[in-house]
């Protein structure tokens, strides 16, 4: 960790405190940096926006992609005040930043009442044993659209 990385993480931690103080949501903050510039920032805003996906990382990724006018975070660094949950981890992989720094661990989050271990546990179970039932229906009909996608010309492949 160098001095600049330390300062960026302090900003992310500051957002975790200010978001919590403003009643936006839980104590989580995140910033996204490209070429030394902050291009996206977020605090957990689940409560203020009634959006269960408004985790700090998601809020920051949306802002950063909007600033870049791109759906990829190529060459970007993410500084998040806590190790990402499975949803944010997935979003980070889709966004493809170059590096992630985190401060608190997921066990620190669990001690504060934010336990995402149950999601990791669910991933290892067959659908039939999961807490939320998943049933497959109308595969043939849905698959036709995939076939149309495969045949579609002039599409952006990502």
Q: Does residue 12 interact with Zn ion by CB under 5 A?
A: no
The distance of closest approach from Cβ of residue 82 to Zn ion in the complex, given in angstroms and rounded to an integer, is 8
The distance of closest approach from Cβ of residue 90 to Zn ion in the complex, given in angstroms and rounded to an integer, is 9
For residue 41, the cross-strand partners are 31
Q: Does residue 85 interact with Zn ion by CB under 5 A?
A: yes
Q: Which of 7, 57, 77, 153 is catalytic?
A: 57
Which of 7/108 has CB closer to Zn ion? 108
Write out the binding residues for Zn ion, residues 33-72 only, by CB under 5 A. Answer: 55
Residue from the set 32, 33, 39, 88 that interacts with Zn ion by CB under 5 A: 88
43 and 33 Cβ atoms separated by less than 8 Å: no
153 part of the active site: no
Q: Give the Cα separation of 20 and 13 in Å (integer).
A: 11
156 and 69 Cβ atoms separated by less than 8 Å: no
Q: Specify the pairing of strand 76-82 against strand 29-34.
A: antiparallel
Stretch that binds Zn ion, among 8-16, 82-90, 99-107, 126-134 (CB under 5 A): 82-90
One-character DSSP codes across 1-54: --HHHHHHHHHHHHHHHHHHHTTSSSS-EEEEEETTEEEEEEE--HHHHT-TT-
The distance of closest approach from Cβ of residue 89 to Zn ion in the complex, given in angstroms and rounded to an integer, is 8
Q: Catalog residues that contact Zn ion under the rule CB under 5 A.
A: 55, 85, 87-88
Active site residue ranges: 57
């Amino acid at each position: 960790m160098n001095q600049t990385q330390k300062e960026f993480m302090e900003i992310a931690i500051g957002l975790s405190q200010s978001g919590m103080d403003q009643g936006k949501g839980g104590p989580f903050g995140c910033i996204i940096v490209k070429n030394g510039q902050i291009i996206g920032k977020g605090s957990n805003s689940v409560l203020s926006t009634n959006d269960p996906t408004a985790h700090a990382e998601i809020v920051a990724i949306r802002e950063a992609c909007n600033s870049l006018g791109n759906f990829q975070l190529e060459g970007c660094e993410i500084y998040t005040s806590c190790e990402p949950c499975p949803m944010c981890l997935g979003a980070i992989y889709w966004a493809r930043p170059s590096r992630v720094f985190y401060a608190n661990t997921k066990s620190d989050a669990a001690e504060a009442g934010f336990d995402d271990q149950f999601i990791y546990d669910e991933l290892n179970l067959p659908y039939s044993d999961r807490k939320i039932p998943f049933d497959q229906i109308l595969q043939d009909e849905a698959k036709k659209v995939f076939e149309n996608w495969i045949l579609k010309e002039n599409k952006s492949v990502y």
